[in-house]
Structure 1
Amino acid sequence: MVPLQVPLVDLRAQYQSLKPEIMAAFAEVLESMHLFLGPKTRAFEQQFAEYCACRYGIGVSSGTEALVLALRACDIGAGDEVITVSNTFIATVEAIALVGARPVFIDVDPQTYLMDWRQLETVCTERTRAILPVHLYGHAAEMGPILEFARARGLRVIEDASQAHGATYQGQRVGSFGDIGCFSLYYSKNLGAFGEAGICTTSDPVLAEKLCMLRDHGSRVRYHHEVIGGNYRLDELQAAVLLLKMPYLEQWNQARQAHAQFYTQRLREVVPQAPEVRSWGTHVYCYYVIQVEQRDTFRKALEDAGIGTNVHYPVPIHLQPACADYGYTRGMLPVTEHAAERIVSLPMYPELTEEQLHLVVETVKQALLIGVTQK
């Protein structure tokens, strides 16, 4: 095996380009010793909310906690049902389970892997309280019909935008459509901290106030606790990194889109399925996901050439052992299950060089050609 030439994600490349500013920002926070809910957090919350065209941003400790607190702020709990998708990271479903509610799964569109809103009617019951669409891989979900369905039935809409910072639906950024938008700021995301972080967005002042209380032990005034909350605050050091990175987000997204266009133009004729972008939305390519046959053989060929890959995600959530009690079995979500057996993510990050892009494309072509000849 040759040394890794093109990693799936190269975190060092971005860090090196910003290192002096990052170290200065850390020093500023450490000199002040204002280590949580300080000026960096407030400034980042405001900037991110404005970026998403929302009135409020509430920084939290992770994307998972953003989802949990959003559900709690919307008073969703035991006995309630939340409609979502199975083709996602388990945090989407964990959050529903952690508030005592039950996830109800519908299948996804076979081209975009996003929630197929046409199936909402088939699973909506008197216990349904919310819809939780996922803007997966960087593409916005089709929010118009989802919102129309929810409003007609008095349901909450909570967006999982953890992989879609800056993606748009009909020209409007995700995170601004539902009652609350939830973003992971995990270090490998389009906008990432140096560890764990997350943020909720909303334009509802009541929900914003509840989120602020829930993240800080249920209090508005220190040592006065109105509800049971927890310690889910955004760390000031992480806020400093995020605040520094915010001005670069659009530039980085544009680089991702350019890289994706490079891949797609050269691979569309050889891969069974390249990423699709719907006319009503944009894609910011947190991941560049294709479908291939003989996936293990394909990944091994790329690994041998020094190219990193991953699978987002190999086992759908409804088939995970942790979700066995929900009663789902293989065959119930056929589109999701079919995709999970074939999807693979290629290297995607803003700092990819032209040489690296060419290497990935040529290696993918060779690997697929080998796969065809071995059949």
Structure 2
Amino acid sequence: MIPVFDTTRQIKKYRRQFIKTIDEVMSKGNFILGSKVAQFEKEFAAYTGVKFAVGVASGTDALMLSMQALGINNPGEEVIMPANSYPTAFAVVSTGARPRLVDIDGSFNIDPLKIEKAITAKTRAIIAVHLFGQPADLQKIMQTANKYNLPLIEDCAQAHGAVYKNPTLPSGLRGASKKVGSIGKIGCYSFYPTKNLGAFGDGGMIVTNDEELFKKIKLLRMYGEEERYKSVLQGRISRLDEIQAAILSVKLQYLDKWNERRREIAGKYRSHLENSPCRLPPALPFTKHVYHLFVIRTKKRDLLKNYLEKKGIATGIHYPVPIHLVPSFKSLGYKEGDFPESEKAAKEILSLPMFPELKDSEIVKVAQEINSFLEKK
């Protein structure tokens, strides 16, 4: 079976480095907020191009703590987010706020032209999700955010290392191209094992250039303590542990290389599927996609998925139901038809195998089987 993701191939290749760094942690006996976490926070901040980074327990916690640090914690407050980003919605409601949904455009990201209409007196922030590794149209989103004095939170859970190039600035100008996470008020990352930069368990990171927010988030991640047992804020426990930080520090050295391989794989898929009736994912000119997922679209999605499975090819659907049609979000008051682009995409999208260690022969087989099936139908 050709898997959608396979972490074992990467582990096998870098096993000695992982064991060495884990052994270093064990020999020191400090597993919580030690030197490895501090080191990785510094490295990831530098990599992203920001001043500060705070390691937390998960990507969901990163979003939740970011909203809490921004003062979003009251029922009735609203946070604007795309209608198709399933995990993000759970972070919003966990703060007590209400997701204010906006439909997507052809890039699978929030439609920047529809955000302003969704803003109300209760709006407290905008979340731009860089879904599948494709940066959202941040220049347009930031214009709206600035107009209404709303903080922009970047959900970078699937976009480690992705780059946004401001289309209004000359390409060679300093600051014209920035990594996602460094453009809004706060950037949030997940290190779930299958991410472009994945841990051996859960983990997350918050990045920012705002020193006051940085200090507040550091307090919030551990009981709100300035020092042990001296709590000045009602925080919680959400810490990136030493072993995960050690592993991620090793992996960060290879992230750009792995992302380049993902783009290479995407190019091969495009080449082999260019004459296929399926729709290929857009690669916007003002972005540097990192292809956490390679997502095609076809109205015969379910039939194709079943066919590929029989041929030994695993696929995924990210995500099969838009937020407003998920039963647990019925209380939001939306109905079917409110977000037509998100609804249509949910019925057509299919995630193909995508990870840096995917073999060229496997890419060819996947593409051949897709072409074979769709040409017959």
The TM-score bracket by the shorter chain reads: over 0.9
Structure 1 residue 10: Cα displacement: 1.1
Deviations 1:239-261 (A, max 9, x none): 01100100000000000000000
In 2, Cα distance between the equivalents of 1:119 and 1:357? 37
Partner of 2:13: 17
1:147 aligns with 2:153: no
Choose from 60, 65, 71 the match for 2:67. 71
Gaps of 5+ in 1: none
1:53 aligns with 2:49: yes
Paired residue secondary structure (1:289): strand
In 1, Cα distance between the equivalents of 2:283 and 2:214? 32
Structure 1 residue 340: Cα displacement: 0.4
Which stretches of structure 1, 4 residues or longer, exceed 4 Å deviation after superposition? none
Deviations 1:18-60 (A, max 9, x none): 1011011111101101101111111111111111100011000
8 Å contact kept, 1:86–1:105: yes
Structure 1 residue 268: Cα displacement: 2.6
Structure 1 residue 353: Cα displacement: 1.1
Structure 1 residue 310: Cα displacement: 0.5
Structure 1 residue 312: Cα displacement: 0.4
Deviations 1:254-287 (A, max 9, x none): 0000000000122132143101111111110100
In 2, Cα distance between the equivalents of 1:66 and 1:283? 22
Partner of 2:178: 172
1:118 aligns with 2:124: no
In 2, Cα distance between the equivalents of 1:29 and 1:271? 51
In 2, Cα distance between the equivalents of 1:76 and 1:313? 26
Partner of 1:327: 333
Paired residue secondary structure (2:254): helix
1:316 aligns with 2:322: yes
Paired residue secondary structure (1:129): strand
8 Å contact kept, 2:272–2:364: no
In structure 2, give the amino acid aligned to 1:81.
E
Deviations 1:279-323 (A, max 9, x none): 111110100000012222101111111111000000011110110
8 Å contact kept, 2:262–2:290: yes
In 2, Cα distance between the equivalents of 1:196 and 1:367? 37
Partner of 1:86: 83
Partner of 1:279: 285
Deviates more, 1:311-320 or 1:294-303: 294-303
Partner of 2:169: none
Partner of 2:246: 240
Structure 1 residue 91: Cα displacement: 2.5
1:366 aligns with 2:372: yes
Aligned residues: 365
1:42 aligns with 2:38: yes
Partner of 2:298: 292
Choose from 72, 94, 101 the match for 1:98. 94
In 2, Cα distance between the equivalents of 1:91 and 1:358? 32
Structure 1 residue 80: Cα displacement: 1.3
In 1, Cα distance between the equivalents of 2:352 and 2:48? 28
